[in-house]
Chains A and B, each alone.
Chain A
Amino acid sequence: MLKNGQSIPLDSIPESSFEQFRSALLAEVSGGARVVNFSAQPIGEVRAILFAVLADDAQGSLRVLKTRVDDSYPSLTPDCPQVHMFEREMWENLGLTPVGHPWLKSVRSHDDPANHPFFTMVGQDVHEVAVGPVHAGVIEPGHFRFQCTGEVVQHLEVQMGYQHRGVESAMVGGPHKRTMSQIETVAGDTTIGHAIAYCEAIEALSGTQVPERAQALRALALELERLANHVGDLGAIANDIGYLPPAAFCGRLRGDLLNVTTTLTGSRMGRSFVRPGGVTQDIDDAMLTELRATLDTARSQCVDATGLLFDSRSSVARMTGTGVITADECRELGIVGVAARASGVEVDVRMHHPTGWYESAGLSPVVETTLDSLARVTVRRNEIEQSFAIAEKLLKALPGGPIRVTCADLKSNSFAVSMVEGWRGEIVHLATTDADGRFATYKIVDPSFRNWSAVTTAMRGEQISDFPLCNKSFNLSYCGFDL
């Protein structure tokens, strides 16, 4: 047992037989726990240690299960679908075969597409639509393969990997000089989220206590990131349904919020702000006044602009019932973040596994229950209001003291998990260190790694022309998935 942002010695995690591992994992999941990370540490040629991290949201605790496997093991996916992508990933990266996995194919590699056929349907009315990797807009690349009967999508398969840069393998043996820059660009629109997750892992492994003021400034930056992206998403959704005034207003407001982040950090994306031990820049009284005034104005204008989406009956009608994913589907697939909360699943790291400033924040998750694009839009609008309130609270009572302390060396042979609620959802970093206190493994789970399954599920039975709206209502990262 451990908590978010804590480290434990590797040898304190009991190793069990695969059968015990399997039954413990399935028992935890049927008791309501979620698998937030499932990864392998290679030892020798084929043998590997598997770590599964299970989150108990009610207790705010994490349980780590550990077992040892040879080159194959009976797949857990048929009994626990939420691990399906983790098992594919370990198969691809380390050659560990999950025997009985229902759809075992590459996650990121593009060696020979013939080795990785797409799911196809046959029948007189069936036709196939292939889109990507280069899409029509200014957007990251990925390949979408639709199996349709007429206009109706029966199945969508998303093939990623085009953005794969090798972030995780570059971490091994680190931290290196470049590590922080690479972490900040895991998903460049989630710079603060991933930077906090990484720094909390480092701080757990080095036993560092981050000063209160730094914790508050990190929370401020994280909420500013959420604000800019949520407002931008609502504008992009308005654009995709052809309602241009809110698209224009939200596009501009997103920029205003990025400019607030620039005022604070010197970068629109918040680069170089969060560092192990704290943050790099402080706020003085003049800046405090400026930030509060700017955010006040932005808040009322955001209420105006995003309210338009709900005032127009045709806009609400367009989003209602489009791209439905049920709460049960979300739980089965391990969906996180805005997508899960819009389907009535209460998962939010800031409330269930809080660290830093959030431990005493007393927030409640923003939840909707209509399961559709409208629900995802509504969750964003309400979270915008929540984040403005958090920012206001933070700026009213910033704790004093230093903003950064020096971190000691990382403990050797240790294990740490850190989770952050990024604007898309739950970010999970898992680090293990070797005998020299360097990273032996580093596993990054961006919310997009979980949530692309939500997009494909939500598209089933929808018209293919609904894809842009459905896709935008999730707005997932490609490079966050591809790493």
Chain B
Amino acid sequence: MLNLLRVRQRQGHKTTAFPKALPQLPARFRGRPLIDSSKCPNGCTECVDSCPTDAIQITVGKPQFDLGKCTFCLECTEACPENAIAFTPKFAMATSTRDDLIIGDEGLRLAEALDKKTRALFGRSLAFRQVSAGGCNGCEAEVNALSNVVFDLSRFGISMVASPRHADGLLITGPVTQNMRQALETTYNAIPDPKLVVAVGGCAISGGPFRNMPATNNGAESVVPVDLYVPGCPPHPLTILDGLLRLLDRIESGERQAG
């Protein structure tokens, strides 16, 4: 017992100050990409050609990223002859609409708060049933990490529950395999209305690396409506937490972040 207390003392206090303070992630951490299309030579499609998940397209001579498809790999940054693309350690990337995930130079419209009535329902207590539908255990592991002492999800009144009957929402990971489709629909239907759906990770948003494959669907939206999109492969726990807190209006939301 004494040893337990000594160990407790040595482990210290580790809960992040987020959202009051912004944690610094390692310099190499690949969060939101920064695109400088002024460097792009005419007709260059190196980034588009290199992208494994077709997340980049050129629109009016400028590259546009679909963060919902992006796996945050290094292919485009390595392929770009002009160093016009860089991944930044900025982790806030969750959005309220699918279209908002498509970004160019101009920045990203982050998730907006739920309307007042819904916030009155869920603002102080929000319970999710998590369903992995073909997730690789990357996103699942990061969702699990939200409950550890660093991120400590429950201090915000958000929890993961066992029964869909006790849940206010569904948090989906994975591209939705054919073999999980029915179980996912059953779980969704078992959650009482009104309910929220959060799609966590590139697979759940678009199918990710498994898009347009016979054994999978192209993400959560092919089965249920989605209220929050959290991109990443997998998203950092802070990316998920930031998105959830924006929904609950615990973080100032809606602004276009400077590019």
Name A residues whose Cβ lies closer than 8 Å to a Cβ of B: 108, 110, 133-134, 136-141, 161-166, 170, 177-178, 180-182, 185-189, 191, 232, 245, 248-249, 251-252, 254-255, 259, 262-269, 271-272, 280-281, 301, 304-305, 307-308, 311, 477-479
Min CB distance B259 to A, Å, is 20
Residue of B with least CB distance to A140: B132
Expressed in whole angstroms, the Cα–Cα distance for A56 and B83 within the complex equals: 49
Interface string of B131-148 (1 = CB under 8 A from A): 111111111111111011
**Taking beta carbons and an 8 Å cutoff, which residues of B are in contact with A?**
3-4, 7-8, 10-11, 14, 25-26, 28-30, 50-53, 71-75, 78, 87, 130-145, 147-150, 160, 162, 174-175, 177-180, 183, 187, 203, 208-210, 213-216, 233-234, 236
List 17 contacting pairs A-B, 8 Å CB cutoff, sorted by A: A110-B178, A137-B160, A138-B130, A140-B135, A162-B180, A166-B215, A181-B53, A181-B233, A185-B138, A185-B209, A185-B210, A252-B11, A266-B29, A272-B30, A308-B4, A308-B7, A311-B3
Q: Give Cα distance in the complex from A280 to B79, angstroms.
A: 13
- Pairs of residues from A and B, 8 with the lowest C-beta to C-beta distance, nearest first: A188-B138, A188-B136, A266-B28, A136-B162, A251-B148, A181-B209, A166-B215, A185-B136
State in angstroms the CA–CA spacing of A180 and B53 once bound together: 11
Nearest-Cβ distance from residue A443 to partner chain B, whole angstroms: 17
Contact of B137 among A134, A189, A254 (CB under 8 A): A189
B87 touches A170 (CB 8 A): no
Are B180 and A133 closer than 8 Å at their CB atoms?
Answer: yes
State whether B177 touches A170 (Cβ < 8 A): no
Measured CA separation A255–B238 after assembly (Å): 12
Are B150 and A188 closer than 8 Å at their CB atoms?
no
Are the C-beta atoms of A269 and B29 separated by less than 8 Å? no
**B50, B132, B150 — most chain A CB neighbours (10 Å):** B132
Contact check, B215 vs A181: say whether CB atoms are below 8 A apart.
Answer: no
> Known contacts A262-B25, A304-B11; is A178 also within 8 Å of B209 by CB?
yes
Question: Closest B-chain residue to A239, C-beta based?
Answer: B147
Q: Are B29 and A262 in contact (CB-based, < 8 A)?
A: yes
Contacting residue for B26 out of A165, A262, A307, A478, CB 8 A:
A262
Residue among B3, B135, B183, B214 with most chain A CB within 10 A: B135
A160 to chain B, nearest CB (A): 9
- B130 touching A305 by the CB < 8 A rule? no
Which of A108, A254, A301, A478 lies in contact with B11, CB distance below 8 A? A301
Known contacts A140-B135, A180-B52; 16 additional CB pairs below 8 A are A138-B160, A162-B183, A164-B177, A164-B215, A170-B213, A185-B138, A248-B148, A251-B147, A251-B149, A252-B148, A265-B28, A266-B28, A272-B72, A272-B73, A272-B74, A305-B7
Chain B residues whose C-beta falls within 8 Å of the C-beta of A161 in the assembled complex: 179
Q: Are A252 and B234 in contact (CB under 8 A)?
A: no
B149 and A188 form a contact (CB under 8 A): no
Chain A residues contacting B72 (CB-CB under 8 Å) are 267, 271-272
Cross-chain contact A304 with B148 (CB below 8 angstroms): no
In the complex, are the beta carbons of B11 and A266 less than 8 A apart? no
Are the C-beta atoms of A249 and B52 separated by less than 8 Å?
no
CA–CA, A252 and B7, complex, Å:
14
Q: A245-B4, A267-B72, A301-B11 are in contact. Are A187 and B132 (CB under 8 A)?
A: no
Find out whether the CB atom of B209 lies under 8 angstroms from the CB atom of A141. no
Which residues on the B side are within 8 Å of A252 (C-beta)? Answer: 11, 14, 148-150
Are B174 and A163 touching (Cβ within 8 A)?
Answer: yes
For residue A107, give the distance in angstroms from its CB to the closest CB of chain B: 12
Q: How far is the CB of A359 from chain B (nearest CB, A)?
A: 28
Q: Tell me the nearest residue of chain B to A250, going by C-beta.
A: B148
Given known pairs A141-B132, A280-B74, the reply for A181 and B52 (CB within 8 Å) is: yes
**Complex Cα gap A189–B162 (Å):** 23
Residue picked from B52, B148, B214, most chain A C-beta under 10 Å: B148
> Given that A188-B137, A301-B11 are contacting pairs, would A134 and B183 also be in contact in the complex, using a CB cutoff of 8 Å?
yes
> Please, which residues of chain B bring their CB within 8 A of the CB of A141?
131-133, 180, 183
Are A271 and B73 in contact, CB atoms less than 8 angstroms apart?
Answer: yes
A166 to B217, CA, bound (A): 12
Find chain A residues with CB under 8 A from B208 CB: 181, 185
Q: Are A137 and B162 in contact (CB under 8 A)?
A: yes
Contact present for B143 and A138 (CB under 8 Å): yes
Please determine whether A165 and B87 come into contact, CB atoms closer than 8 angstroms.
Answer: no
User: B209 → chain A, closest Cβ, in Å?
Assistant: 4
Q: Which residue of B lies closest to A177 (CB)?
A: B52
Give the residue name and chain of the B residue nearest to A178 (CB). Answer: B52
B residues near A249, Cβ cutoff 8 Å: 7, 11
Assuming A178-B52, A262-B25, A266-B26, is B7 touching A479 (CB within 8 A)? no
Taking CB atoms, residues of chain A closer than 8 Å to B145 are 251, 254-255
With A110-B179, A255-B148 already in contact, the answer to whether A165 and B234 are too (CB < 8 A) is no
Q: Which residues of A contact B8 (CB under 8 A)?
A: 245
> Within 8 Å CB of A259, what residues of B?
26
Kindly provide the distance from the CB of B242 to the nearest chain A CB, expressed in whole angstroms: 16
- Contact of B28 with A139 in the complex, beta carbons under 8 Å: no
Q: Please give me the residue from chain B that is nearest to A186 by CB atom.
A: B136
Residues of B within 8 A of A265 (CB): 28
Q: What's the Cα separation between A266 and B150 when bound, in Å?
A: 20
Residues of B within 8 A of A308 (CB): 3-4, 7
Cβ contact within 8 Å between A281 and B28: yes
Most chain B CB within a 10 A radius of its CB, from A108, A138, A161, A180: A138
Whether B138 pairs with A163 at a CB distance below 8 angstroms is: no
In whole angstroms, what is the CA distance A254 to B237 when docked? 13
